[in-house]
Amino acid sequence: MAYILLRHRDIENLHKLDVYREHGGYEALQKAIDEYTPAEVIDIVKASQLRGRGGAGFPTGLKWSFIPKGPGEKYITINSDESEMGTFKDRELLEYNPHQVIEGALIAAYAVGAPQIYNYMRGEFMDIGYHFEEAILECYAAGLLGENILGSDFSCDMSAYYGAGAYICGEETALLNSLMGELGQPWAKPPFPAIEGLYFKPTVVNNTETLANVPPIITNGAEWYTSMGTEKSKGPKIVCLSGHINKPGNYEIVMGMTFRELLFSGEYGGGIPNGKEFKGLLPSGGSGPVITADALDAPISYEGLDVYGSVMGSASVVVMDETVDMVWAAMKMEHFFKHESCGKCTPCREGTYWMDQLLHRIYEGEGTLQDLDVLKSVANRIGGRTLCALGDFAINPVLGTVRHFSNEYEAKIKK
Amino acid sequence: MNDDLVKLTIDGIEVDVPKGTLVVDAAKKIHVDIPVFCYHPKLEPVGMCRMCLVEIGLPMRDRGTGELLLDDDGSPKLNFGRGLQTGCTVRVSEGMVVRTTTEPVKEVREDVISFLLSSHPLDCPICDKGGECPLQNLTMEYGPGVSQMDYSLKMHNEKQVPLGDLIYLDRERCIQCARCIRFQEEIVDDPVIQFHNRGRALEIVTMSEPGFDSYWSGNTTDICPVGALTSSDFRFGARPWELTPVPSLSPHSPAGANIVMSTRREAKSGGRSVIKRIVPRQNEWVNEIWISDRDRFVHHFADAPDRLQKPLIRKNGELTEVSWDEALDLVAEKLQAHSTAVAGLSGDRLSNEDLYAFQHLFRRGLGSNNLDLANRRLAGGDVTAQVGLASGSNLQDLGAGDAILVVASDLHEEEPIWWLRVKQASERGATLVVLNLRPTRLDKYADYVFRYAPGEAIVTVRQLVNAAKVETDTAVDQLTAAADTLIKANNLVAFYGYEGLTYTETDTLAKLLANLLLLKNEDKAHAGQINSGLIPVWPHNNSQGAWDMGIHPALAAGYQPVEASGMDAATIYEAVHNGGLKALYVMGADPVGDGRMPNRGQLDFLVVQELFLTETAKLADVVLPAQSWAEREGTFTSGERRVQRYYQAISPLGECRPDWQIAAQIGERLDMGKPAFAASLLFRDLAKVVPQYKGMDYRSLAKVAEQWPLVGGDDVYYGGTSYKNEAGLGQQWAAAAETDEVGLFEVADGDTAVTTNLPLVRIAALYTPGTLINHTPMLADRLAAPTLHLYADDAQIIGLQDGGETVIQVNGRSLSVQVCVNGHAPAGLALLSGVPWFPGMAEFEIL
């Protein structure tokens, strides 16, 4: 199957504007401007059933439709803060196929009437970001950004922005605060960014990969797009495969493929190295609960893991073989969340710190049965009560491993 | 049904509240407590602490028809969403149902408390906040009772971090609610503290140099819901439950800031009760729940070791301690002997009772009208009596459609409370017009800023007033546009001050502004209308009272003209010099120290009544020790003409007596009869004489009404530790225009001629040295040093550089000054701060 997102793997130098245009680049933008009104573009994206690829899976067309109509200050913000453990898909797009992201963002800007696009990249993407900025400059030189894009009435600017390296800035309101030069902390919604976002103006925040899906949808139509995938998860998805796997890397799949195929097919992961047994995998980095062998035949889709109590999220699949100590794994992940909690709301700030302390104690053999109870209880007391979703993610390392591997915890409890 | 009201049900109780009310506030109104830490009714909600999570249900509607969906029992079907919601961020809506006592709500409160305590130190026994701590109170009320936290897992942090020299941070106690940060940003626009880092390492840091550089820093200690922020004044000073709260007024604030003095009897003070701290007292008509740092920390002068404690008489050239009788007899004898050549000068920080008794002694006892304020700076008390801010007004009510005019004043330095309230009115949409010689901190919020050249204040204001007289549809320039806005505003408040003006000029200014207020737009003038009128930016807390009480050579108490005017202050100083006066009685003022009177001239007799041995007192024949305001009760009248009471906080020092009593005891020796037994009785007497105060007495001044937001008592978690006002909101006296027709004022022509090409103007600074503040050691580092501000080109011409020091000669005195060339001074004008006031514009030369 030909790539839809990772097209650079088939076409050399796709990051260059002329090469991108030789292969149909910016024709989708041209088509959107020439053939559709902004409202029609939103309708097409709605009909394609494209959902956010950052992990939450919110319908993209619906998000765009929340933006108030008519002229005015509005913003498109590309969320390239990619910071989830084991996630490395957006960076590949930004580095090797930047124009597809820019084109998608421009179509979004056209659809909602936004005169300005920002690409918010995590600070560590500095080098990739410089390449991306070159792509922006190419667009300006070619009349694809700035005044009267492609000779139309549509004008739009774009600039790149680098965060200082904070996981929380992947949360849309924290991202917007950071973009405004404020401390990277989320705000309590409402107000939602679609009404009061960047500089208190209507703002769309879309994941990088999400926007890369937009040009092919406009080119080929919604029907083409919905022909791929499962009932609730349409289209292609980049899966980041890492951990104990023979062939780690990004894979573009059509949603609905099973985890088993992803891990063991020669075309994809190629199995577990060194003949070890599969123990579990994290389907969405640290923020989704671990799944075990019984879930391997579940489809990779937004809804596929519902019955297994987990989520696909950003599809950052981290594979763990039989040698992995699950308490150690939980401790490492919890340390990450403790480190990345912004500290704004009480349960997350205090709870992640507390869980991190308890996990260290248990891992080091100093924990008691009571510590284990407190650990579970702390996790349960954070869930559903925090200001943003980070708190809900932060409890999954504990709840997931306790659920499937409680024996490993008990084995470490001080006798 | 009122469209602006929304009906909702909280814990089964139906309540109607205005649209836009937050759920926590709606609950508060019916005394249902939703506990909060980060929320504060004066700040924008942020929903951070999660303590206020409650169940909120909304009536469900049919998507097609919009009809309410009903349960089987006929009640509306409710949708409670997926989880609990923060009551501090959700606004009420029709039919909403809130549940605050259910199991999930109880659980989450217990859990949030557990989380907060998991990293909060257990040092309540030594914490200043212990006893009035929201975290402590809410833990007792809603906490789990048992800790699951292993103490060894607690994180430890720095406990003594000075954010500035007034405010300390205990990083361990901080619960990251951001109230302090938000106060500094949203309320007072001094965003000098911020969060740094993240997660459990999130901490408050100061971004200014010097640290926590704000006139309002102390307020953060009141609203801090834990003991994280403490003041260097009160830190480890006392336990809150040992303190006696005494309602009082700021001894500096012309807006009449309400305070509470917390006192405690202390062994180290010989069993005397001493003032341990000052906190705000709620008065939503005056200072809401905020006070400036000057008003909070200045009280130390009352307990200063160098306070005068015994009467002194000069014997053989030395001031010698004597008995009261000896001193009073001598004063009475000398004043009577010189009664044809006697004069009285008073300060304007003293109470109405003091000032009334003083003028009564002169007018009735000595038959003299030679009476004035030692430092009279601002005229127009008589004009204000006609067209002042109408009684019943509240600057808080000004907003869109209203206008505020500020002329010749730097409110931020002169009265921060007024600065704050004008700023907030502007933020609510009121049009703000500022006319000054130079940029001030109010300009940022102004819709129109006009700078007049030195000497052109009056001509500029006259242009503005004249422009307002002309009906216009198309404004030709900014001044015309501003005038049009002012005259068409629903309400118009005009503040005027004295920066760079002489006393006569301020009189003209007051009358011009009065005429603006009297101008009719569609048959309606602003004067006399509620939330409109004139406010003089008085230099002291009771300058208004001095006018009301008749400390004036031509106006007796109650603005009654005298038959033959006496000498005003300038004439008195002249007469002291040339022998026209033989005896001078100075009460609560230091004309020598302030440079108004070089020496005692040809006086035969000088009596000074003071707290300290001032420069004037050092030259006196008799020095009478007065009680500070903290040692007795009395009343002050604010610039908004609100008469307010303050109460006795500490026992009198040494043999000090109240100023009014001293004056009356001198009068007793002049056959004026027995002094009143108490300030309250004297007030009753003066209220009979001063028509404006008719009907007022200490009981009526002590009346209170419920104020919003609710603060004080058990509600410390909600409003902070500012005190609920249980001692009186005061009474505003009515300006004449409220009831009578007031005619336009005659305004003399003529504007000031500028005699020098680089005139010097004295500008205000909050911490300008003065008798009270000089005796407050904790503000010593903040005292404004004499500073000469110059425009860059002017500095270059006269050869001075930024940061340099020089000596200048001004008004016959030489003065060491720092030179500041940072853009504050406009071209062609030199500014001098940190020095006692002098009138108008002066010449100066570099020595």
- For chain B, the helix, strand and coil percentages under 3-state DSSP, each to the nearest 5: 30, 20, 50
Q: Which residues of B touch A381 (CB under 8 A)?
A: 111, 114-115
- What whole-number distance in Å separates Cα of residue B551 and Cα of residue B354? 11
Judge: A346–B118 Cβ closer than 8 Å, yes or no.
no
Count of C-beta atoms within a 10 Å radius of residue A245: 24
Least confident of A24-38, A117-131, B75-89: B75-89
Contact A374, B148 (CB under 8 A): yes
Both A81 and A196 in one domain: the answer is yes
Buried b (16+ CB within 10 A) or exposed e, B23-46: bbbbbbbeebbbbbbbbbbbbebb
ipTM of the complex: 0.93
Both A293 and A344 in one domain: the answer is no
Among A338, A342, A344, most B C-beta atoms within 10 A, so best to mutate, is A344
Q: Which residue of A has its CA nearest to B203?
A: A343
CATH of segment(s) B115-231 = 3.30.70.20
Both A43 and A28 in one domain: the answer is yes
Which residue among A168, A188, A377 sits closest to B46, beta carbon to beta carbon? Answer: A188
Q: Which residues of B touch A180 (CB under 8 A)?
A: none
Both A93 and A39 in one domain: the answer is yes
Judge: B118–A386 Cβ closer than 8 Å, yes or no.
no
Q: Which residue of B has its CA nearest to A169?
A: B198
Judge: B83–A340 Cβ closer than 8 Å, yes or no.
no
Both A264 and A374 in one domain: the answer is no
Judge: A346–B47 Cβ closer than 8 Å, yes or no.
no
Which residue among B111, B119, B195 sits closest to A183, beta carbon to beta carbon? Answer: B195
How many Å lie between the alpha carbon of A384 and the closest alpha carbon of chain B? Answer: 7
Q: Which residue of A has its CA nearest to B199?
A: A343
Give chain A's domain count: 3
Both A148 and A73 in one domain: the answer is yes
A·B CB contacts under 8 A: 101
- What whole-number distance in Å separates Cα of residue B543 and Cα of residue B837? 15
Quick one: how far is CA B571 from the chain centroid? 32
- What whole-number distance in Å separates Cα of residue B153 and Cα of residue B38? 25
Residue B154: the pLDDT is 86
- What whole-number distance in Å separates Cα of residue A284 and Cα of residue A243? 13
Which residue type occupies B478? Q
CATH of segment(s) B312-376+542-700 = 3.40.50.740
| Dihedral sign (CA B63, B65, B70, B72) | negative
CATH number of B760-846: 3.20.20.140, 3.40.50.1820, 3.40.50.300, 2.40.40.20?
Answer: 2.40.40.20
Residue A132 has pLDDT above 90, yes or no: yes
Both A66 and A95 in one domain: the answer is yes
Cβ-Cβ contacts under 8 Å for B782 (sequence gap 6 or more): B767
Both A82 and A148 in one domain: the answer is yes
Q: Which residues of A touch B150 (CB under 8 A)?
A: 371
Q: Is the pTM of this model over 0.90?
A: yes
Residue B2: the pLDDT is 61
Q: Which residues of A touch B83 (CB under 8 A)?
A: 384-385
Which residue type occupies B567? M
Which residue among A340, A342, A350 sits closest to B119, beta carbon to beta carbon? Answer: A350
Which residue among A346, A358, A361 sits closest to B116, beta carbon to beta carbon? Answer: A346
Answer whether residue A363 is part of any domain. Answer: yes
- What whole-number distance in Å separates Cα of residue B243 and Cα of residue B263? 5
As to burial, measured by CB atoms within 10 angstroms (0-12 exposed, 13-18 middle, 19+ buried), residue B613 is middle
Structural domain that includes position A273: 236-321
Alpha helices for A153-269 (secondary structure H): 172-179, 208-212, 214-220, 222-226, 259-264
Judge: B115–A350 Cβ closer than 8 Å, yes or no.
yes
- The domain boundary residue, chosen from A321, A349, A378: A321
Both A254 and A217 in one domain: the answer is no
How many Å lie between the alpha carbon of B114 and the closest alpha carbon of chain A? Answer: 9
Any idea which residue has 């849309």 for tokens? A172
CA angle B777, B311, B600 (to 5 degrees): 80
Which residue among A184, A188, A378 sits closest to B47, beta carbon to beta carbon? Answer: A188
Judge: A183–B194 Cβ closer than 8 Å, yes or no.
yes
Any idea which residue has 């860059």 for tokens? B792
Which residue among B111, B150, B198 sits closest to A343, beta carbon to beta carbon? Answer: B198
Any idea which residue has 């792509």 for tokens? A135
Residues of A with CB under 8 A from a CB of B: 166, 168, 183-185, 187-188, 190, 338-347, 349-354, 357-358, 361, 371, 374, 377-378, 381, 384-387
- What whole-number distance in Å separates Cα of residue A394 and Cα of residue A84? 12
Judge: A385–B198 Cβ closer than 8 Å, yes or no.
no
The H-or-E segment that residue A394 falls in is: helix A390-394
Q: Edge to edge, what strands does the sheet with A278-286 contain?
A: A249-254, A236-243, A316-321, A278-286
Six-digit token string for B369 = 């009208």
Q: Which residues of B touch A392 (CB under 8 A)?
A: none
Q: Which residues of A touch B195 (CB under 8 A)?
A: 183, 185, 343
Count of C-beta atoms within a 10 Å radius of residue A70: 7
Six-digit token string for B68 = 């309410």
Residue B752: the pLDDT is 65
How many Å lie between the alpha carbon of A357 and the closest alpha carbon of chain B? Answer: 7
Contact B831, B763 (CB under 8 A): yes
The enclosing domain of A251 has a CATH number of 3.10.20.600
Note the CATH architecture for domain B5-101.
Roll (3.10)
Answer whether residue A2 is part of any domain. Answer: no
Which residue type occupies A128? I
Judge: B111–A385 Cβ closer than 8 Å, yes or no.
yes
Judge: A347–B112 Cβ closer than 8 Å, yes or no.
yes
Q: Which residues of B touch A378 (CB under 8 A)?
A: 148
Six-digit token string for B61 = 């509607």
List of chain B residues with pLDDT < 50: 1
Contact A180, A168 (CB under 8 A): no
Answer whether residue A53 is part of any domain. Answer: yes
Residue B750: the pLDDT is 62
- Residue A235: closest CA among A261, A215, A264, A206: A215
Query: CA-CA distances (angstroms) from residue B404 to A53, B428, B641?
Result: 53, 12, 18
Query: For chain B, what's the residue count?
Result: 847
Q: Edge to edge, what strands does the sheet with B448-451 contain?
A: B448-451, B431-436, B403-407, B492-496, B533-536
- Residue B255: closest CA among B32, B629, B535: B535
Judge: B115–A386 Cβ closer than 8 Å, yes or no.
no
- What whole-number distance in Å separates Cα of residue B774 and Cα of residue B833? 16
Q: Which residue of A has its CA nearest to B90?
A: A190
CATH number of B381-536: 3.40.50.300, 3.40.228.10, 3.30.70.1140, 3.40.920.10?
Answer: 3.40.228.10
The enclosing domain of A355 has a CATH number of 1.20.1440.230
Judge: B50–A385 Cβ closer than 8 Å, yes or no.
yes
Judge: B108–A385 Cβ closer than 8 Å, yes or no.
yes
Both A316 and A342 in one domain: the answer is no
Q: Which residues of A touch B199 (CB under 8 A)?
A: 338-343, 349, 352-353
Omega before B121 within 30 of 0, i.e. cis: no
The H-or-E segment that residue B814 falls in is: strand B813-820
Cβ-Cβ contacts under 8 Å for B32 (sequence gap 6 or more): B10, B11, B13, B100
B808-814: long-range contacts, CB 8 A cutoff, minimum separation 24: B808/B844, B808/B845, B808/B846, B808/B847, B809/B844, B809/B845, B809/B846, B809/B847, B810/B760, B810/B838, B810/B842, B810/B843, B810/B844, B811/B595, B811/B838, B811/B842, B812/B598, B813/B595, B814/B847
The H-or-E segment that residue B381 falls in is: helix B381-387
Contact B437, B829 (CB under 8 A): yes
Both A240 and A278 in one domain: the answer is yes
Q: Which residues of B touch A344 (CB under 8 A)?
A: 48, 176, 202
How many Å lie between the alpha carbon of B147 and the closest alpha carbon of chain A? Answer: 11
The enclosing domain of A208 has a CATH number of 3.40.50.11540
Judge: A387–B47 Cβ closer than 8 Å, yes or no.
yes
Omega before B311 within 30 of 0, i.e. cis: no
Quick one: how far is CA B524 from the chain centroid? 32
Contact A228, A301 (CB under 8 A): no
Strand B312-315 and strand B273-280: the pairing is unpaired
How many Å lie between the alpha carbon of B15 and the closest alpha carbon of chain A? Answer: 24
Q: Which residues of B touch A390 (CB under 8 A)?
A: none
Query: For chain A, what's the residue count?
Result: 415
Cβ-Cβ contacts under 8 Å for A181 (sequence gap 6 or more): none
Judge: A347–B50 Cβ closer than 8 Å, yes or no.
yes
Answer whether residue A74 is part of any domain. Answer: yes
Judge: B48–A377 Cβ closer than 8 Å, yes or no.
no
Residues of B with CB under 8 A from a CB of A: 37, 45-51, 53, 82-84, 86, 89, 108, 111-112, 114-116, 118-119, 148-150, 153, 155, 175-176, 194-195, 197-202
Residue A70: the pLDDT is 86
Q: Which residues of A touch B86 (CB under 8 A)?
A: 188
- The domain boundary residue, chosen from A301, A321, A341: A321
Count of C-beta atoms within a 10 Å radius of residue B86: 28
How many Å lie between the alpha carbon of A344 and the closest alpha carbon of chain B? Answer: 6
C-alpha radius of gyration, chain A, whole number: 22
Omega before B210 within 30 of 0, i.e. cis: yes
Among B147, B150, B172, B177, most A C-beta atoms within 10 A, so best to mutate, is B150
- The domain boundary residue, chosen from A258, A290, A321: A321
Q: Which residues of B touch A414 (CB under 8 A)?
A: none
Strand B731-732 and strand A203-207: the pairing is unpaired
Both A87 and A120 in one domain: the answer is yes
SS3 B525: strand
Q: What is the pLDDT of residues A264-296, one digit of tens each?
A: 999 999 999 999 999 999 999 999 999 999 999
Q: What is the pLDDT of residues A11-30, one digit of tens each?
A: 999 999 999 999 999 999 99
Q: Which residues of A touch B173 (CB under 8 A)?
A: none
The H-or-E segment that residue B27 falls in is: helix B23-29
Answer whether residue A281 is part of any domain. Answer: yes
- What whole-number distance in Å separates Cα of residue B819 and Cα of residue B800? 7
Contact A252, A303 (CB under 8 A): no
